[in-house]
Amino acid sequence: MFKFWGDVFGYPAAYFETLAKRDPWFESQNILALSSDGRPISALQIFPKLVRVGNCSVMAGGIGNLATLPECRRRGHATKLLEKAIQIMRGRGYVLSILFTGIPHFYRRLKWEMASPEYEYLISARKLSEGGKDIPSTFWPRIFRTEDSASIMQAYDCTNRGRTLSVVRSRECWQRQLDYNLSEDLSGFIVIQMHQTTLAYARCTKSQGRLEVIEAGYRPNSPDARPACKALLTCLGERALEMNLKEVSVNVPPDHILTGQLIDRGAIDISRMRGNSMIRIIDLSGLIKKILPDLKTRISDAHFSKRLTIRTEEEHVSLQIKDGEIRVMDPREGGDRYETGHRVLAQHLTGYVSPKEAFQRGLVRAEPSIVKIVDSLFRTVLPSYVWKSDRF
How many separate domains does the chain show?
3
Distance CA 171, CA 129 (A): 34
**pLDDT at site 9:** 94
Q: Are both 214 and 353 inside the same structural domain? A: no
Residue 382 lies in a domain: no
Q: Are both 88 and 219 inside the same structural domain? A: no
* Single residue among 271, 298, 329 that ends a domain in this structure: 271
Q: How many CA atoms lie within 13 A of 104 on its CB side?
A: 14
CA angle 6/8/14 to nearest 5° reads 5
Q: Are both 200 and 154 inside the same structural domain? A: yes
Q: Are both 304 and 239 inside the same structural domain? A: no
Q: How many CA atoms lie within 13 A of 195 on its CB side?
A: 2
Q: Are both 266 and 348 inside the same structural domain? A: no
**pLDDT at site 242:** 95
Give the pLDDT confidence of 279-327 residue by residue, as tens digits. Answer: 999 999 999 999 999 999 999 888 889 999 999 999 999 999 998 899 9
**pLDDT at site 392:** 87
Please report the sign of the dihedral spanned by the C-alpha atoms of residue 377, residue 379, residue 382, residue 388.
Answer: positive
* Single residue among 114, 130, 150 that ends a domain in this structure: 114
Q: Are both 13 and 32 inside the same structural domain? A: yes
Distance CA 98, CA 278 (A): 6
Residue 44 lies in a domain: yes
The model's pTM is 0.94
Give the pLDDT confidence of 114-148 residue by residue, as tens digits. Answer: 989 999 999 999 999 998 777 777 888 999 998 89
Residue 278 lies in a domain: no
Q: Are 55 and 293 in contact (CB under 8 A)?
A: yes
Q: Are both 71 and 152 inside the same structural domain? A: no
Q: Are both 170 and 94 inside the same structural domain? A: no
Q: Are both 319 and 248 inside the same structural domain? A: no
- Amino acid letter, 115: A
68 phi and psi angles, rounded to 5 deg: -135, 140
Residue 79 lies in a domain: yes
Residue 277 lies in a domain: no
114 phi and psi angles, rounded to 5 deg: -50, 130
Q: Are 385 and 216 in contact (CB under 8 A)?
A: no
Q: Are both 80 and 192 inside the same structural domain? A: no
Q: Are both 65 and 168 inside the same structural domain? A: no
Residue 384 lies in a domain: no
Q: Are 80 and 65 in contact (CB under 8 A)?
A: no
Q: Are both 138 and 242 inside the same structural domain? A: yes
The residues, any chain, with a CB within 8 Å of residue 264's CB and separated by 6 or more, are: 131
Residue 102 lies in a domain: yes
Residue 110 lies in a domain: yes
Distance CA 27, CA 106 (A): 26
Nearest to 79, CA basis, from 111, 39, 40, 113: 111
Query: Mind giving me the DSSP string for 40-93?
Result: EEEEEEEEEEEEEETTEEEEEEEEEEEEE-GGG-SSSHHHHHHHHHHHHHHHHT
* Single residue among 229, 245, 271 that ends a domain in this structure: 271
Q: What is the CATH number of the domain that holds 293?
A: 3.30.1050.10
CB-CB neighbours of 244 under 10 Å = 8
Structural domain that includes position 20: 2-114
315 phi and psi angles, rounded to 5 deg: -150, 170
100, 165, 352 from 274: Cα distances, Å: 12, 16, 10
The residues, any chain, with a CB within 8 Å of residue 82's CB and separated by 6 or more, are: 44, 63, 66, 107, 110
Q: How many residues does the chain have?
A: 392
Low-confidence residues of the chain, pLDDT below 70?
179-186
- What dihedral do alpha carbons 386, 291, 312, 167 form, nearest 10°? 10
The residues, any chain, with a CB within 8 Å of residue 107's CB and separated by 6 or more, are: 82, 99, 101, 278, 280
**pLDDT at site 235:** 94
**pLDDT at site 330:** 86
Q: What is the CATH number of the domain that holds 167?
A: 3.40.630.30
